[in-house]
Amino acid sequence: MIRAVVRRIPPGCVATYGQVALLAGFPGCARQVGYALSALEDTSSVPWHRVVNARGCISHRSGGSPADLLQRLRLEAEGVRFDAQGRIPLDRFQWRPEPEFTHRMLDR
């Protein structure tokens, strides 16, 4: 279900780990969303790069993974902008799914 939600995030938008968890039916399980996305194959079509933390920042992986830079580059290529502190203005770029989708997901 996590992957299904992430696939719905349109290009140029981001969602938070907590937002994905809620829509996937796992409220309060943001960390588990991170684990699920980190387990994806490199060839996965799931747009994992569109998921950020609640502060609008890329959550850095341990060991300075090149995935951090890749995530930023993919987001910038989609038109997502970062401020001087490396944050994405969520008021501008956060995905706001259509109410029908939100209700359908939350009513399961």
Q: Using one digit for the tens of pLDDT, what is the confidence trace for 3-29?
A: 999 999 999 999 999 999 999 999 999
Entry pTM: 0.88
Q: Using one digit for the tens of pLDDT, what is the confidence trace for 57-83?
A: 998 876 667 788 899 999 999 999 999
Which of these, 23, 82, 29, 84, lies nearest to 56 by C-alpha position? Answer: 82
Read off φ and ψ for residue 85, nearest 5 degrees: -90, 5
The backbone region for 16, taken as left when phi is positive above 0, alpha when psi lies in -120 to 50, beta otherwise, is beta
Please name the CATH architecture into which domain 2-106 falls. Answer: Orthogonal Bundle (1.10)
Rounded distance between C-alpha atoms, residue 56 and residue 79, angstroms: 15
Listed by start position, the domains of the chain span 2-106
Which of these, 7, 87, 100, lies nearest to 54 by C-alpha position? Answer: 87
